[in-house]
Amino acid sequence: MSVWFFSDSVMRLGAEEAFVYLARGLELKRRGMDIISFGIGQPDFQPPEHIIEAAKKAMDEGYNGYGPSTGLPELREAIAEYINERFRIDVKPEEVLITVGAKAAVFIGIISLVRPGDEVILPDPGYPHYDSVVKFVGAKPVYVRLSAENKYKMLPENVEEKISDKTRMIILNYPENPIGTTLEEKEVREILSIAEERGIIVLTDEIYDYFVYEGKHYSSLMYEGWRNILYYVNGFSKTFGMTGWRLGYAITNKSIIPRLGTVANNLYSCPVTFVQIAAITALREGFDWFKPILEEFKVRRNLIYEELRKLPGVKLLKPQGAFYVFPDFSEAIREAGLRDERELADRVLEEKGVVVIPGTAFPHEGGKGHLRFSYAVDKNQITRGINRIREWLENKGV
Ligand SMILES: Cc1ncc(COP(=O)(O)O)c(C=O)c1O
């Protein structure tokens, strides 16, 4: 008998399929196809020069060794200072855990706090990592279906009706991947207050908090009772274009930080040292450089929304945040005689060189009939990519 079988928990892990489609697109490109990618959620701008310079300088100055598992004290302090100035609150450096990407902050939070048999309430469709890790620990995902009835948002009443004696955690992600909706102050506060009353942890992932095109982002850290229930996640990947640098953080009750550091220690020892030094510069140099980027992303959002709206058999919502749109292609899929959104994603990739992610790559079922488009690409590519999809649909008689 072969020795190469896996543990049960590892077999319960799911893969983030955006990475699978990224690889498929790259392979077709290598073979000479002209690829337009609306696939992976990666900003198309480079980190500002001052951050890159700070990383190089940090390496030259010798920041190349191990550091504390909870992160460098200087960066924990810089994050607390930046958050406090931005949201007018009083986070302490001891309440900050630096991690290798926001993903690791989510992973560490769930595996540390959720037990087998617990229930975790999360959005459907949602960022696949949540569902995967909840299943990995042997807990049960309890999905809140995002649909037209709740304006594609996890509203307080939706959360409340899913709470049971077994609920251990509620996961909020706003602005939301993959739909792009966001929550308002009143909605966030109400969910946090329900959770506080019922003694349930809330993991909020606010990684897209700078990509908000209407209104202002309300952070869950502004809720007075946050220390009783909140596990807040954010990171440097999206805002600073630092996806490959792998730096994120969690903010939570300081009593649990040392043990979370022990988990981090067992996983990766410590976050990358020179990247942490560069991140201090990123936070202290201000965000003026980001303003034109946000403007540009807003223009792209409007453009992709208008272009998709004109496609036959397609319905969609205008997203308020992040850099995704999540149109419903159900009618087009039916009229083209396709099986489902997976077949549509495969066909437009193979026949037209357009990378899109099937909605069901975002658990659980809410993404049926949908495709996710990341519009972190230039306007010309948006127009060309959607045109190719139009041609494909028209060719199939839609
Ligand atoms: C909602 C959400 N959280 C976390 C992450 C991961 O961020 P990081 O690159 O910092 O691990 C992503 C990336 O796509 C995301 O969409």
Of the ranges 13-17, 173-177, 215-219, 323-327, which one carries the lowest mean pLDDT score? Answer: 13-17
Q: How far is the CA of 4 from the centre of ligand 1 (A)?
A: 31
Asked if residue 22 has pLDDT above 90, the reply is no
Amino acid identity at 336: A
Taking each helix axis from N to C end, the angle separating 290-309 and 379-395, rounded to the nearest 10 degrees, works out to 20
Which residue is closest in CA terms to ligand 1's atom 14?
41
Q: Is the CB of 122 under 6 A from ligand 1?
A: no
Q: What is the pLDDT of residues 353-373, one digit of tens each?
A: 999 999 999 999 999 999 999
Q: What pLDDT does residue 19 have?
A: 84
Pairing of strands 357-358, 371-374: antiparallel
Q: Is the CB of 41 under 6 A from ligand 1?
A: yes
Q: Which atom of ligand 1 is nearest to the CA of 247?
A: 10
Q: What pLDDT does residue 80 have?
A: 98
Report the alpha-carbon distance of residue 195 to residue 142 in Å, rounded. 15
Report the alpha-carbon distance of residue 184 to residue 217 in Å, rounded. 8
Backbone Cα Rg of the chain:
21
Amino acid identity at 171: I
Q: How far is the CA of 246 from the centre of ligand 1 (A)?
A: 10
Please check whether residue 128 is in contact with residue 362, taking contact to mean a CB–CB distance below 8 angstroms: yes
pLDDT above 70 coverage of the chain, percent: 100
Q: Is the CB of 245 under 6 A from ligand 1?
A: no
Asked if residue 398 has pLDDT above 90, the reply is no
Q: What pLDDT does residue 262 have?
A: 98
Q: Is the CB of 69 under 6 A from ligand 1?
A: no
Average pLDDT estimate for 61-69: 98
Q: How far is the CA of 207 from the centre of ligand 1 (A)?
A: 7
Report the alpha-carbon distance of residue 134 to residue 118 in Å, rounded. 9
Q: Is the CB of 248 under 6 A from ligand 1?
A: yes
Q: Which atom of ligand 1 is nearest to the CA of 176?
A: 1
Residues 6+ positions from 344 with CB-CB distance below 8 Å: 329, 332, 333, 336, 338, 358, 371
Pairing of strands 324-325, 371-374: antiparallel
Probe target for ligand 1 pocket from 38, 129, 362, with the most ligand atoms within 8 Å of CB: 129
Q: Is the CB of 205 under 6 A from ligand 1?
A: yes
Asked if the bond preceding 178 is cis, omega within 30° of 0, the reply is yes
Q: How far is the CA of 206 from the centre of ligand 1 (A)?
A: 9
Average pLDDT estimate for 128-133: 97
Please check whether residue 123 is in contact with residue 154, taking contact to mean a CB–CB distance below 8 angstroms: yes
Q: How far is the CA of 238 from the centre of ligand 1 (A)?
A: 8
Domain boundaries, the chain: 8-46+289-395, 49-284
Determine the CATH number of domain 49-284: 3.40.640.10
Q: How far is the CA of 11 from the centre of ligand 1 (A)?
A: 22
Asked if residue 397 has pLDDT above 90, the reply is no
Which residue is closest in CA terms to ligand 1's atom 7?
102
Model confidence at 16, pLDDT cuts 50, 70, 90, reads confident
Q: What pLDDT does residue 352 have?
A: 96
Q: Is the CB of 125 under 6 A from ligand 1?
A: no
Give 3-state DSSP helix, strand, coil % of the chain, rounded to 5.
45, 15, 40
Q: What pLDDT does residue 148 have?
A: 87
Asked if residue 170 has pLDDT above 90, the reply is yes
The label of the residue with tokens 């690409």 reads 377
Going through 146-297 in order, the beta strands assigned E by DSSP cover 167-173, 201-205, 230-235, 248-252
Determine the distance from the C-alpha atom of residue 150 to the mean position of all C-alpha atoms in its chain, rounded to a whole number.
20
Average pLDDT estimate for 384-394: 97
Model confidence at 36, pLDDT cuts 50, 70, 90, reads very high
Q: What is the mean pLDDT of the chain?
A: 96
Q: What angle do CA 192, 221, 95 make, to 5 degrees?
A: 115
Asked if residue 41 has pLDDT above 90, the reply is no
Which residue is closest in CA terms to ligand 1's atom 13?
41
Q: What pTM did the predictor assign?
A: 0.96
Average pLDDT estimate for 310-336: 95
Please check whether residue 173 is in contact with residue 204, taking contact to mean a CB–CB distance below 8 angstroms: yes
Average pLDDT estimate for 129-149: 97
Q: Is the CB of 322 under 6 A from ligand 1?
A: no
pLDDT above 90 coverage of the chain, percent: 96
Q: Is the CB of 237 under 6 A from ligand 1?
A: yes
Model confidence at 90, pLDDT cuts 50, 70, 90, reads very high
Q: What sections of 42-167 are H helices per DSSP? A: 49-60, 73-87, 101-113, 128-136, 156-162
Q: Which atom of ligand 1 is nearest to the CA of 235?
A: 10
Q: Which atom of ligand 1 is nearest to the CA of 16?
A: 14
Q: Is the CB of 243 under 6 A from ligand 1?
A: yes
Amino acid identity at 29: K
Average pLDDT estimate for 66-86: 98
Please state, as a whole number, how many other Cβ atoms lie within 10 Å of the Cβ of residue 147: 12
Q: Is the CB of 173 under 6 A from ligand 1?
A: yes
Asked if residue 20 has pLDDT above 90, the reply is no
Determine the CATH number of domain 8-46+289-395: 3.90.1150.10
Average pLDDT estimate for 76-99: 98
Q: Which atom of ligand 1 is nearest to the CA of 127?
A: 1
